[in-house]
Copies of this chain bind each other. A is one copy, B any other.
Amino acid sequence: MLQPPPAQPGMPEAAIDTPALLLDLDAFEANLDGMAALLAPTGTRLRAHAKTHKSPVIAHQQIARGAVGQCVQKVGEAEILAWGGVPDILVSNEVVGAAKLARFAALARIARVAICADDAAQVSAIEAAAEQAGRRLTVLVEIDVGAGRCGVAPGPDAVALAQRIAGSRNLIFGGLQAYHGSAQHLRRPEQRQAAITGAIDASRRTVEQLRQQGLDCPIVGGAGTGTFQIESASGVYNEIQAGSYVFMDADYARNLDESGAPVGTFRHSLFVLATVMSTPNRGVAVLDAGLKALAVDSGMPTIWQRPDIRYLSASDEHGKLDVGSETTPPKLGEKLRLVPGHCDPTVDRYDWYVGVRGGRVECLWPIAARGGMH
């Protein structure tokens, strides 16, 4: 069942029921504008990642500011975007199974879509889906540029797979998917630079070997919020797949710049609003937002503008706060904004964004693609 929204447009922020997923619209729009401004002079296209926001409403705002389209990780996400009018969608991931591939192929009737492969058997399966749907489908080769997850090795293996795609009757070779996920969260700029230099070298070498075989790469895509300025200056990557920049989270806030300060390119726009539901007078206050309201895989949330309070631990429906003796302890019923440790899986818990500006609720947007996606 869809959860009822925890707010109505027009009400003050203090009246929002909790837990609720808040979007600070000023910060969010500044992030959208900031990314557009940073990429414009590089000539690199933005294909923002919808696995973060899972919302056609946000996708359209990115496209309105110049993004060429969206990335997704799941066919279910591609469906929600395509049904919501997004015209250009890359499934930046492998998709296995005839049923899923048939659903993907069906989307080619209403949107420009592409998909990735890292195995010859998958190329055959996508070819079969294309044939059955009566549509030519675009396939990118995913190469492993350092993440050690999916992807064929850069160089000859990638060229062989691309040739197989290009030689398939109903497939079009679309380029390279070259994302280095773990590099995004390396804390020091020289670590990120080193990791992405490797990814750029591997991508450049593969692009050149493909060209020698007569294969061009319309897309060389990758990069995330932590490293996109390196890829966008590379001359090799032509599409940036950043997602988290629209929201930011406590984990990304731990990335540092050259001076050793937190990278301040983007602002926190995403918060979980929570209420103090118990103050049992033991140096502890308890919030109504725990494991089901917040993803804790990348650490506990921080408390917005209250560095004196620490979110100690989460159980299913409770969050315990350490309320030291030196602080002004939050009162029973008080509402606090939490900065989630990890934005993507936190968003995935909710049905609604509550957009706020100037202390009031301005809009509600459905998180249409949330949930265990198949």
Indicate which residue in B119, B181, B333 contacts A332 across the interface (CB closer than 8 Å). B119
Count of this chain's copies in the oligomeric assembly: 2
Given A148-B282, A318-B149: A349 in contact with B371 (beta carbons within 8 A): yes
List the B side residues contacting A222 at CB < 8 Å.
none
Is the CB of A234 closer than 8 A to any CB of chain B? Answer: no
- Write the residues of chain A forming the contact surface with B, with a CB cutoff of 8 angstroms: 1-3, 6, 17-21, 51, 73-74, 76, 80, 93-97, 99-100, 118-119, 121-122, 144, 148-152, 181, 275-280, 282, 284, 286, 288, 291-293, 295-297, 314-318, 320, 332-333, 342, 344-345, 348-351, 366, 368-374
Could you tell me the distance in whole angstroms from the C-beta of A100 to the nearest C-beta in chain B?
7
Q: Residue among A19, A121, A148, A280 with the most chain B CB within 10 A?
A: A280
**Nearest-neighbor residue (CB-CB) of A142 within chain B:** B278
Q: Which residues of B contact A344 (CB under 8 A)?
A: 291-292, 316
Which listed residue (B20, B94, B368) contacts A278, Cβ 8 A?
A: B94
Instruction: A276 to B296: give the CA distance in the assembly, Å.
Output: 25
A280 and B99 contact, CB distance less than 8 A: no
Which 4 pairs of residues, A with B, have the shortest CB-CB distance? A150-B278, A73-B317, A350-B372, A17-B374
Closest to A288 in B: B96
- The answer to whether A99 and B332 touch (CB under 8 A), given A1-B80, A280-B144, A314-B297, is no
Closest to A313 in B: B149
Judge whether B291 and A74 touch: CB under 8 Å.
no
Contact A276 B96 (CB under 8 A): yes
State how many angstroms separate the Cβ of A159 from the closest Cβ of chain B. 16
